[in-house]
Amino acid sequence: DRINQSREQAQRAADFAKQQEEERSAVEPEVGLVSSKGASIPLKCTHIRANVLDLVGTVQLFQQYSNESNKAIEAKYVFPLDEKGAVCGFEAYINGKHVIGEVKEKEKAHKEYKEAIEQGHGAYLMDQHEKPDAWTVSVGNLPPQASVIIKITYVTELDVDQDDII
């Protein structure tokens, strides 16, 4: 009887821990490039270019990731951005190809992404994350042993705090 009680307590604790992790993940999305199985894709380097004019910042963020596995993967790039920011550009550089994002109607974009993946082509799809302070880019068919550079351009309103711009 004590063994059954211990098992039940252990199961309740495991269920609680799993629920807490799911709630944490829903609140704090993992950032960076993550495979469809949840594994982080290694970040190799980051480069930032920023211009400030009055209280507006324009930022270009370059991040290089490497698929070190021996098979093509589908992944999601999660990019946090506060409510004062707006994404205004997306580009990807992979295997000598330069992909420039373009704005499309949501359903059409999702359909084209799915078709490209099914045909074995590389594809990218940027969308607002479930949370309002994050964006996701679906990165489909990232080739094995390949690197990808993701470039996000965004603008953001800067805050003033006692004569300092932050």
Are 9 and 74 in the same domain?
A: no
Rounded Cα distance between 33 and 61, Å, is: 14
Are 75 and 19 in the same domain?
A: no
Are 78 and 23 in the same domain?
A: no
Higher pLDDT, 4 or 162: 162
Condensed to tens digits (0 to 9), the pLDDT of residues 63-96 reads 999 999 898 888 888 888 888 888 888 888 988 8
Condensed to tens digits (0 to 9), the pLDDT of residues 9-59 reads 656 666 665 665 555 444 444 788 888 888 888 899 999 999 988 888 899
Are 2 and 66 in the same domain?
A: no
pLDDT of residue 101: 78
pLDDT of residue 15: 64
Condensed to tens digits (0 to 9), the pLDDT of residues 134-146 reads 777 777 778 889 9
pTM, whole model, 2 decimals? 0.68
pLDDT of residue 16: 61
Show the domain range for 95: 31-165
CATH of the domain at 124: 2.60.40
Are 12 and 88 in the same domain?
A: no
Are 21 and 73 in the same domain?
A: no
Number of domains in the chain: 2
Are 6 and 83 in the same domain?
A: no
Provide the token pair at 94.
């992979």
